Structure 1
């Protein structure tokens, strides 16, 4: 099956720049697509110094929907949102004061990759972290979700006004230019040792292999200079990402004999049986509703699965409707309108609505989306106006 390689090099312009991220792209571009992806044939998508987090999200989502193996190469710098204390990848317009609106939230990466088959996805990162981010990472390592491998390094911010080079990624690309892609743990160990020798003694190394079981508790955490951190630094899997442990498969869904139902759903999607996949997820949602009650994490999880399945099935109207319901369920459960999962669901609802081309569906969902954006504006400024402007194009006014 063809693979996909997504190359993202992002850094602010001006004084906030800590790393010359885009300088690595010519080196990566010299590597054959097949080697970048680790498959016989592959496609490569390149994103250099993106301005808008929605642009990055769109490219990442498209890559995540690809059926074959996916490798994401990410070069850039991390900044901490001062309000919510969340890690963000800085983009071209990011400053310390605007990171919440102009940076790409790290947790969106796990959000987009979580429905991919375990073991099919790898993220390779070469990052520099500002002081606040570095301090938080010492206690809370980066997580890309279960079933996804993460390799790379995080370096502290360089000296004042200095701009560092992405030396880890350049060394890795140099190896790959030989036309051979060694097993990633071996490749990481070789490149990390070389980077440390070249002055990266303070690097925080990332080496998290793919999970074996569908939804285990996280793999090894970050390492500093190749030394594993204590087991307490392993990242737990959020409750809403776990299958209901005590739920027997509903009669409308195929029996899984104790196996995780996500595997059967994923197989149905890969084979183009979107209606069957949606029916299985809906059946599990109903069982979770009977077992755990409305707005429970288990119910919300299956709602989100159905929202993603509608995206896979290219039904943006249905997907928008589901994500609107997810936002409502999360807020009903007590989550704040600016909670990361609430904002992510609102952004998905908005994005899917913008993909709808049927005028009646646009007008039908528009008022609910306006009401949602007034309550959950998200990180992009002016989202209410964006919805209203599109509704005007469809000859509809919403006060």
Structure 2
């Protein structure tokens, strides 16, 4: 929810839960309080449009609305109120809709990863997702690491509450607290501030799990870019993204963007699991966005011949070359496409997905966007923690060190204050081998006048 106020914002409010006895939360009861908040307050802009979806039954209907919201040029707020469930086959998180049952979640609920698929290409810092979720019993018992709920391209805040112990549906306490704070606020709080205040006011169950852009993080010097594990073979390019350009020939104005593989697999990428829900492909635009690499026009015959005669190459050199030549948008788009491929084929907590998240973090640093780089490194560190890496693990410590270093480059501005709470939480948990990192951060927090981690 960041913008200069001149571009109208957009709000998508989704309140959904199964009908009948399967309903665990009265999601729609929070909407009257939210409707009393002026739309421009929700987004922090001079004007904003609001779309409400109440108990939709078809995930495709929700997808259409989500896709339309993602196309909005200004700040976007997505507020999700409802019931978290897992599909029985793959145990992936879904947002239950009106017709969802435990047996049909895979077909009648909204796959959580669709949020990342639609929001990941929005401008950095313009998208916030507030989630007020009540988990059903099976989802609560098998709740995935919170990093599995991270939304690419958006800052995620909110809470996941356990199923209510009584027969009556639970109340959306977090959403009501958000609405009350925004109605009475004299100034527009940042998403992190709004979240902290809402948690303090909501009276959530003691067992509730809090959602933030799961991250943190300093180091005296930047440790360097993420390292590609040795002995890995590249997979084919993602099937749902434009193919990288053909290798450059003599005199070509642009370097080759070779095809590549997701690191850490040891071989070609596995195909998507059978029946894994993915959002329908977007219609191809008349003119491809400038930030994405163009797809060469080749025949099926020539493509099959090329794949049989040449081995796929590592994409990292082409991505790094684009960044060093100042084509930062193109480099970021290629890395984001590979990250989405890794998310779909290997899962959000996989080594492949975390690696591409770290590549995007390093590209943001090369582009001079230290705030975005810090956020991404924090997310990578949280993902590694969620995957069970030890707190003194080399890669985890490096991710926190890189986040800390990028944060130090932000000076005393608003972005540094916005990120400091998450950084301090991770830095205390992952102090690293260098002495004094935690103490240096605490001294800096005092000078910022910011509130450190609890």
TM-score (norm 1): 0.56
- 1:137: how far off? 2.7
The aligned counterpart of 2:39 is 33
Does residue 67 in structure 1 map to residue 76 in structure 2?
Answer: no
Contact 2:135–2:163 (8 Å) recurs in 1: yes
* Pairing of 1:351-370 with structure 2 (within 5 A): none
Of 273, 277, 281, the match for 2:289: 277
The Cα of 1:98 is off from its aligned counterpart by 1.1
Q: In structure 2, do the counterparts of structure 1 residues 15 and 294 end up closer, same or farther at CA, with 3 Å as the change threshold?
A: farther
Q: Secondary structure at the match of 2:10?
A: strand
Match of residue 93, structure 1, among 99, 108, 123: 99
Q: Is the 8 A contact 1:5 1:37 kept in 2?
A: yes
Equivalent-residue separation in structure 2 for 1:285 and 1:129 (angstroms): 47
For 2:38 and 2:214, locate their aligned partners in 1 and report how far apart those are by CA, in whole Å.
24
Which of 115, 124, 136 lines up with 1:109 in the alignment? 115
The whole-number CA distance in structure 1 between the counterparts of 2:173 and 2:248 is 50
**Segment drifting more, 181-190 vs 5-14:** 181-190
Distance change in 2, residues 1:90/1:254 (3 Å): same
CA distance in 2, matches of 1:173, 1:87: 26
Counterpart for residue 45 of structure 1: 51
- The equivalent residue for 1:205 is 210
Q: Which residue of 2 aligns with 1:10?
A: 16
Unaligned regions of 5+ residues in structure 2, if any? 1-6, 218-224, 227-236, 257-284, 320-336, 349-454
* Structure 1 position 254, deviation (Å): 9.8
> Which structure: greater helix fraction?
1
Cα-to-partner distance string for 1:81-131 (whole Å, 9 max, x where unaligned): 011111110101111111111111101111111111121111001000012
Matched, 1:163 2:169: yes
Q: How many pairs align?
A: 261
8 Å CA contact 2:94, 2:111 repeated in 1: yes
1:190 equivalent among 180, 192, 197: 197
- Written as runs of structure 1 = structure 2, the 5 A alignment for 1:324-343 is none
Q: Is the 8 A contact 1:123 1:151 kept in 2?
A: yes
Q: d(CA) in 2 for partners of 1:14 and 1:297? A: 52
Would the alpha carbon gap of residues 156 and 209 (structure 1) be closer, same or farther in structure 2, given more than 3 Å must change?
closer
Aligned residues: CA RMSD: 4.4
Say if 2:128 and 2:191, in contact at 8 Å, map to a contact too.
no
Question: How far did residue 138 of structure 1 move?
Answer: 5.1
**Residue range with higher mean Cα deviation, 6-15 or 203-212:** 203-212
Choose between structure 1 and 2 for higher RCO, CA contacts under 8 A separated by at least 6 residues: 2
User: Does 276-285 or 20-29 show the bigger shift?
Assistant: 276-285
What is the match of residue 323 of structure 2? Answer: none
Shift of 1:12: 0.8
Structure 2 distance, partners of 1:75, 1:37, is: 18
Distance, in Å, in 1 between the alignment partners of 2:86 and 2:111 is: 9
Tell me the residue number matched to 1:22.
Answer: 28
Distance 2:314 2:111 in 1: 22
Aligned-partner Cα distance in 1 for 2:204–2:290: 52
1:125 equivalent to 2:125? Answer: no
Runs of 5+ unmatched residues, structure 1:
218-238, 256-272, 303-325, 341-399
Q: Pick which of 186-195 and 6-15 moved more.
A: 186-195
What SS does the corresponding residue of 2:132 show, helix, strand or coil? Answer: strand
Instruction: Indicate the SS of the match to 1:275.
Output: coil
CA deviations on 1:147-183 (whole Å, 9 max, x unpaired) are 3100000000012523000001001101111254311
Q: Does 1:172 align with 2:186?
A: no
After TM superposition, the structure 1 = structure 2 runs for residues 220-235 of structure 1, keeping only pairs within 5 Å, are: none
Q: CA separation of 1:103/1:46 partners in 2, compared to 1, >3 Å: closer, same or farther?
A: same
- What TM-score comes out, normalization by structure 2 length? 0.50
Cα deviation, 1:273-318, whole Å, max 9, x if unaligned, reads 96362695216999xx99997899969xx9xxxxxxxxxxxxxxxx
Q: 2:145 aligns with which of 139, 164, 173?
A: 139
2:150–2:156 contact (8 Å) kept in structure 1: yes
**Cα distance, 1:143 vs. partner?**
2.9
In structure 2, how many angstroms separate the alpha carbons of the residues matched to 1:155 and 1:42?
Answer: 30
SS of 2:97's equivalent in the other structure is: coil
Please list every run of at least 4 consecutive aligned residues from structure 1 whose deviation after the TM superposition is greater than 6 angstroms: 209-212, 239-244, 247-250, 289-299
Q: 1:282 to 1:85 in 2, by over 3 A?
A: same
* 1:276–1:77 Cα change, 3 Å: closer
Query: Which residue in 2 is equivalent to 1:353?
Result: none
Asked whether the 8 Å contact 1:119–1:211 carries over to 2, the reply is no
Equivalent position SS for 2:33: helix
Determine if contact 2:93/2:112 at 8 Å carries over to the other structure: yes
CA 1:82/1:35 → structure 2, altered by over 3 Å: closer, same or farther? Answer: same
